[in-house]
């Protein structure tokens, strides 16, 4: 046992993967939801600390796992949001249990699934083997399907079914793309394991058959793009966000979409080294831009508070995909920054929304009014979050959106106009909804709700600080990652 | 590699495409499940043949899994679900059989054009045509999922799509075992998840017609 702890302490990679897995096994066995919720938080914190360890010490590149500048960003972000969400989840589920929406038996399952999801996401991010990455993303999909359906209401079942069908179609297309990459790599790299190792592939990708890589990328883009929630493949996303438990909405928006985007980025990097292949940029730009404009229009007609923010996630994933599609040091930097800011802000918004829905007993936008009066701490938290997500200064998202729009103006002015239009429309829709939600005469229950404000305000504080001042070391680091992305 | 080996591999892969077409026009639940069992049987034979001509013993594992799980266990389990839910009468389709088959033919033509063009002379012809057939099976499975309203037939469509992926994975010579086992495993997991869903849907609605779920769309409250 002491040998194991020694190994975990020495090797952050093992710890980042094994801690969630061990936690899942424990949580499945342990009775009592209080203990389960606490253990969930503790293990998520331990995983986050282990992920920080990756910053200090990197293992050698292996056949299955590796750590580089790019995936460290994603892993640290994922484990941090995973930790804060588990803290939010602890107070959220206590309320769900007290009103009888969840039973203790389901909670055990829920906590175990939460940790398996963390494991799957970390595995997908750290995988050096494109087959392993696919397996991990499929595992993450299946666990979230199970969690979206956990309330077992009509709506939850329909949402889970839709998510399952669309998610597995996407994942199937991605597997076909992965097989095609292997077929393209085999004549150059040789048969077997090596032809699926990403670090080997990137070294030799220039000599792969460009036609095959083109077809492969289209499958991968459509497949993993479904999981990113890009229009027109987004249909599962609003339902899954609206009908599942709110902590899962926070993790879906804040993390799982990023993981899928990470997979797209890895393959984009492969294609970029092959001069004869198509440029992956325009495809990503088109899908990103369609998502932004589409989601901006859809924001106006929402009647459900969680659906509203789900469409906002589609919009922001569109912006990030567009930024990476534009490429170049500045746009990639802005894309990375935007992705991190969106994860933090959107999960903070869902933390607030979860407690608001519990306090008011409804998710209907029309039934929630005057939050700043009835629940000032939550209400102002939501105001701050929405102001941030809408891209108003001085918060972090303003800065990243500003960088994306300005680098687009330099490269493709016409597209910048379309993008700007989408951003303004979304801003208008969100402000319209926010003024109804937060101000005016309060409706519904004004009873105080037992909520944990710490995760919410910790995220918002980080977003505010990032908007005002980014430490030079962080900027240099993100710039080096941006160069890596090409 | 001799000509004979090629021909048998192509016959089996082509047979899989053919059975995929047969899946498209079944209008009885039991018939659909029987045809799916045949689909899995052909897949299993195809994988076993690939294992034989490539001299790759590890490929016999996915062949055995396909035979046992997909050709025997899953059809039987689904049949029991169908009986228990009393939905064996007929399958609701979105459009008629004719247009569906035409769409299927168009998809097969598309995958042939795309794959044969993309894979030029760079890879060996066996893998090349296998990929074209595999893409056809995947797209036909996709078509089936779109064209059927009924949850059980959507599951069958999904599994036939997975069969197509397995065909592609085994046709790509020397593809690591990890992936194949994981594919088979994930199908199993997927089946469990679906089974749970069906059970719950049964509990709540007394129907597995997905259209019945549509009336509960969150937006229309």
Q: How far is A12 from chain B (nearest CA, A)?
A: 24
Cβ neighbours around A409 below 10 Å, total: 15
Q: How far is B208 from chain A (nearest CA, A)?
A: 11
Q: In 3D, which of A107, A431, A154 has the Cα closest to residue A296?
A: A431
State residue A380's pLDDT score.
93
Note whether residue A379 is domain-resident: yes
Buried b (16+ CB within 10 A) or exposed e, A259-287: bbbbbbbbbbbbbbbbeebbebbebbbeb
Q: What band does B209 get if pLDDT is binned at 50, 70 and 90?
A: low
| Tokens matching residue A236 | 């599962």
State residue B216's pLDDT score.
46
Q: Which residue has the higher pLDDT, B221 or A333?
A: A333
Q: What is the 3-state secondary structure (H, E, C) of A29-83?
A: HCCCHHHHHHHHHHHHHHHHHHHHHHHHCCCCCCCCECCCHHHHHHHHHHHHHHH
Note whether residue A291 is domain-resident: yes
pLDDT value at A374 more than 60? yes
Q: CB-side exposure of A430: number of CA atoms within 13 Å?
A: 27
Buried b (16+ CB within 10 A) or exposed e, A168-179: bbbbbbbbbbbb
Interior CA angle at A429 toward A423 and A433, to 5°?
145
Q: CB-side exposure of A217: number of CA atoms within 13 Å?
A: 25
Q: What band does A139 get if pLDDT is binned at 50, 70 and 90?
A: confident
**What would the mean pLDDT of A320-348 be, rounded to a whole number?**
93
Q: What band does B90 get if pLDDT is binned at 50, 70 and 90?
A: low
CA distance A283 to A331: 16
**Interchain CB contact of B138 with A (< 8 Å):** yes
Interior CA angle at A17 toward A12 and A21, to 5°?
135
- Whether A165 sits inside 8 A of B214 (CB atoms) is no
Q: What band does B219 get if pLDDT is binned at 50, 70 and 90?
A: very low
Note whether residue A241 is domain-resident: no
**What would the mean pLDDT of A12-35 be, rounded to a whole number?**
87
State residue B220's pLDDT score.
42
- Taking only residues 86 to 115 of chain B, the set having a beta carbon closer than 8 angstroms to any beta carbon of chain A reads 114-115
User: What percentage of chain A carries pLDDT values higher than 70?
Assistant: 98
CA distance A336 to A329: 11
CA distance A110 to A156: 15
State residue B218's pLDDT score.
46
State residue B1's pLDDT score.
56
- Which residue of chain A is at minimal alpha-carbon distance from B201? A157
Cβ neighbours around A34 below 10 Å, total: 12
- Which residue of chain B is at minimal alpha-carbon distance from A175? B165
pLDDT value at A5 more than 90? no
- Give the distance between the most distant pair of CA atoms in chain B: 65
Query: How does pLDDT run across A422-460, given as a tens digit for each residue?
Result: 999 999 999 999 998 888 888 877 777 777 889 999 999
Interior CA angle at A385 toward A304 and A421, to 5°?
75
CA distance A94 to A108: 13
State residue A216's pLDDT score.
92
> At A364, is the secondary structure helix, strand, or coil?
strand
- Whether A142 sits inside 8 A of B119 (CB atoms) is no
Phi, psi of B90 (to 5 degrees): -155, 170
**What would the mean pLDDT of A282-296 be, rounded to a whole number?**
94
pLDDT value at B205 more than 50? no
State residue A405's pLDDT score.
93
pLDDT value at A28 more than 90? no
**Interchain CB contact of B10 with A (< 8 Å):** no
Q: Which of B114, B172, B187 to mutate to test the interface with A (most CBs of A within 10 A)?
A: B172
State residue A9's pLDDT score.
56
Q: Which of B182, B201, B216 sits opposite A135 (nearest CB)?
A: B182
- Whether A211 sits inside 8 A of B179 (CB atoms) is no
CB A223 within 8 A of CB A97: no
Q: Which residue has the higher pLDDT, B69 or B42?
A: B42
Please tell me the pTM assigned to this model.
0.90
- Whether A304 sits inside 8 A of B219 (CB atoms) is yes
| Tokens matching residue B115 | 């794959």
Contacts of A138 in chain B (CB under 8 A): 186
Q: What band does B221 get if pLDDT is binned at 50, 70 and 90?
A: very low
Comparing A26-35, A228-237, B124-133, B160-169, the range with the smallest average pLDDT is B124-133
pLDDT value at A107 more than 90? no
Q: Which residue has the higher pLDDT, A445 or B67?
A: B67
Domains contained in chain B, CATH given = 3-220 (1.10.287.3510)
Q: What band does B203 get if pLDDT is binned at 50, 70 and 90?
A: very low
Cross-strand bridge partners of residue A65: A127
CA distance A194 to B176: 9
**Distance between the two ends of chain B, CA-based, in angstroms?**
64
CB A246 within 8 A of CB A92: yes
**Interchain CB contact of B158 with A (< 8 Å):** yes
Q: Which residue has the higher pLDDT, A193 or A459?
A: A459
CA distance A107 to A129: 34
Q: In 3D, which of A400, A375, A380, A403 has the Cα closest to residue A460?
A: A380
List Cα–Cα distances, A240 to A164, A200, A306, in angstroms: 10, 37, 10
Could you list the beta-strand ranges (E) of A51-179.
Answer: none
Q: What band does B206 get if pLDDT is binned at 50, 70 and 90?
A: very low
CA distance A418 to A290: 10
Positive or negative, the Cα torsion across A82, A83, A84, A87? positive
Domain encompassing residue A402: 279-486
Note whether residue A315 is domain-resident: yes
Q: What band does A164 get if pLDDT is binned at 50, 70 and 90?
A: confident
Q: Which of B58, B218, B220, B221 to mutate to test the interface with A (most CBs of A within 10 A)?
A: B218
Q: Which of A132, A137, A154 to mutate to test the interface with B (most CBs of B within 10 A)?
A: A154
Counting other chains too, the contacts that A362-367 makes at CB distance below 8 Å and 24 or more residues apart are A362/A444, A363/A242, A363/A304, A363/A305, A363/A306, A364/A303, A364/A304, A364/A305, A364/B221, A365/A302, A365/A303, A365/A304, A365/A305, A365/A308, A365/A433, A365/A436, A365/A437, A366/A303, A367/A443, A367/A444
CB contact set of A216 (below 8 Å; sequence gap of 6+): A177, A178, A180, A181, A184, A267
CB contact set of A260 (below 8 Å; sequence gap of 6+): A137, A224, A225, A227, A228
> At B164, is the secondary structure helix, strand, or coil?
helix
State residue B165's pLDDT score.
86
Mean pLDDT score across all residues of chain A: 89
State residue A452's pLDDT score.
81
Q: What band does B115 get if pLDDT is binned at 50, 70 and 90?
A: confident
Phi, psi of B93 (to 5 degrees): -115, 155
CA distance A121 to A403: 28
CA distance B158 to A239: 21
- Which residue of chain B is at minimal alpha-carbon distance from A211? B118
Query: How does pLDDT run across A452-481, given as a tens digit for each residue?
Result: 889 999 999 999 999 888 889 888 888 888
Note whether residue A235 is domain-resident: no
Q: What band does A284 get if pLDDT is binned at 50, 70 and 90?
A: very high
- Whether B204 sits inside 8 A of A149 (CB atoms) is no
Q: How far is A60 from chain B (nearest CA, A)?
A: 22
Query: How does pLDDT run across A62-96, given as a tens digit for each residue?
Result: 888 889 888 998 999 999 999 999 999 998 988 88
Count how many domains chain A has. 1
Note whether residue A348 is domain-resident: yes
Interior CA angle at A302 toward A301 and A303, to 5°?
120
Note whether residue A455 is domain-resident: yes
Note whether residue A344 is domain-resident: yes
| Tokens matching residue B70 | 């997909």
């Amino acid at each position: 046992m002491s040998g194991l702890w020694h190994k975990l302490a020495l090797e952050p990679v093992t710890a980042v993967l094994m801690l969630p897995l061990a936690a899942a096994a424990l949580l499945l066995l342990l009775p009592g939801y209080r203990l389960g919720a606490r253990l969930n938080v503790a293990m998520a914190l331990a995983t986050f600390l282990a992920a920080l360890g990756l910053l200090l010490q990197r293992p050698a590149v292996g056949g299955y796992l590796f750590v580089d500048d790019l995936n460290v960003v994603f892993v640290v972000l994922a484990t941090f949001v995973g930790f804060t969400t588990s803290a939010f989840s602890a107070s959220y589920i206590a309320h769900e249990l007290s009103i009888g929406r969840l039973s203790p038996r389901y909670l055990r399952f829920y906590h175990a699934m939460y940790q398996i999801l963390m494991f799957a996401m970390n595995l997908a991010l750290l995988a050096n083997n494109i087959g392993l990455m696919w397996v991990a993303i499929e595992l993450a999909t299946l666990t979230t399907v199970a969690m979206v359906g956990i309330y077992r209401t009509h709506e939850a079942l329909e949402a889970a079914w839709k998510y399952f069908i669309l998610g597995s179609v996407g994942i199937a297309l991605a597997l076909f793309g992965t097989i095609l990459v292997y077929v393209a790599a085999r004549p150059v790299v040789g048969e077997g394991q090596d032809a699926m190792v990403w670090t080997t592939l990137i070294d030799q990708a220039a000599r792969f058959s460009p036609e095959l890589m083109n077809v492969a990328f289209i499958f991968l883009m459509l497949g993993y793009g479904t999981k990113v929630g890009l229009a027109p493949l987004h249909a599962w996303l609003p339902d899954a966000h609206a009908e599942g438990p709110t902590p899962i909405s926070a993790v879906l928006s804040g993390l799982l979409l990023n993981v899928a985007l990470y997979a797209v980025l890895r393959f984009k990097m492969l294609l970029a080294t092959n001069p004869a292949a198509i440029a992956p940029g325009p495809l990503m730009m088109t899908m990103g831009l369609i998502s932004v404009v589409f989601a901006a229009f859809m924001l106006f007609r929402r009647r459900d508070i969680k659906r509203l923010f789900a469409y906002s996630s589609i919009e922001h994933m569109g912006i990030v995909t567009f930024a990476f599609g534009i490429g170049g040091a500045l746009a990639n930097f802005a894309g990375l920054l935007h992705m991190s800011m969106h994860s933090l802000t959107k999960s903070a918004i869902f933390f607030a929304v979860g407690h608001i829905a519990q306090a008011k007993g409804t998710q209907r936008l029309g039934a929630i009014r005057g939050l700043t009066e009835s629940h000032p701490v939550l209400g102002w938290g939501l105001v701050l979050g929405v102001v941030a997500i809408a891209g108003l200064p001085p918060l972090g998202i303003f800065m990243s959106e500003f960088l994306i729009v300005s680098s687009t103006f330099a490269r493709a002015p016409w597209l910048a106009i379309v993008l700007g239009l989408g951003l303004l429309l979304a801003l208008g829709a969100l402000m319209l909804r926010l003024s109804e939600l937060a101000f005016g005469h309060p409706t519904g229950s004004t009873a105080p709700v037992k909520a944990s404000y710490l995760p919410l305000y910790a995220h918002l504080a980080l977003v505010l600080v990032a908007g005002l001042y980014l430490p030079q070391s962080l900027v240099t680091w993100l710039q080096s990652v941006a160069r890596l992305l090409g | 590699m001799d000509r004979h080996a090629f021909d048998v591999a192509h016959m089996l892969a082509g047979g899989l495409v053919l059975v995929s077409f047969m899946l498209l026009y079944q209008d009885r639940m039991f018939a659909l499940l029987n045809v799916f069992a045949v689909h899995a049987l052909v897949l299993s034979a195809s994988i076993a043949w690939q294992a034989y001509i490539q001299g790759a013993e590890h490929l016999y594992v996915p062949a055995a899994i396909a035979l046992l799980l997909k050709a025997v266990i899953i059809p039987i389990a689904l049949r029991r679900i169908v009986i228990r839910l009393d939905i064996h009468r007929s399958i609701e389709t979105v459009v008629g059989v004719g247009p569906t088959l035409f769409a299927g033919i168009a998809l097969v033509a598309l995958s042939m054009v795309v794959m044969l063009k993309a894979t030029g002379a760079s890879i060996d012809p066996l893998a090349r045509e296998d990929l074209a057939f595999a893409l056809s099976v995947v797209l036909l499975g996709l078509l089936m999922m779109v064209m059927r309203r009924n949850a059980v037939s959507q599951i069958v469509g999904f599994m036939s799509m997975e069969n197509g992926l397995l065909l592609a994975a085994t046709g790509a010579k020397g593809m690591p075992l990890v992936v194949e086992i994981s594919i088979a495993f994930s199908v199993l997991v997927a089946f469990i998840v679906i089974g749970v869903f069906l059970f719950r849907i049964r509990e709540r609605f007394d129907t597995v017609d997905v259209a019945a779920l549509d009336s509960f769309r969150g937006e229309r409250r």
